[in-house]
């Protein structure tokens, strides 16, 4: 087969593959919602977080304004759940 025909088809193939990746990232994974807008850190203190997970959406008035970045156990104020014998 002609060299330039092969080049053309490989070009089409690679472009289609990249389009599929972009489709997966934007339309399926919704990468566009992770905008680079200015955010700030908010720290919350809970007695029980229930089923909260890292990267869960943080909503204000129902609109996603951020993501949970880190969950950790507070060793200072809740170190002893029950008295030791």
49 binds other proteins (CB under 8 A): no
65 binds other proteins (CB under 8 A): no
Distance CA 68, CA 35 (A): 15
DSSP 35-48: ------------S-
Helix H or strand E encompassing 67: strand 63-67
Among 40, 41, 46, 54, binds other proteins (CB under 8 A): 54
Binding site for other proteins (CB under 8 A): 1, 3, 6-7, 9-10, 12-14, 16-18, 20-21, 23-25, 27-31, 33-34, 53-55, 57
């Amino acid at each position: 087969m002609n060299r330039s025909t092969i080049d053309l088809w490989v070009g089409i193939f690679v472009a289609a593959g990249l389009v599929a990746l972009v489709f997966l990232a934007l339309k399926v994974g919704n990468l566009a919602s992770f905008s680079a807008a200015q955010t700030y850190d908010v720290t919350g203190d809970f007695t029980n977080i229930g089923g909260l997970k890292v990267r869960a959406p943080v909503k204000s008035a129902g609109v996603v304004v951020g993501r949970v970045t880190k969950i950790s156990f507070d060793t200072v104020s809740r170190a002893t759940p029950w008295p030791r014998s």
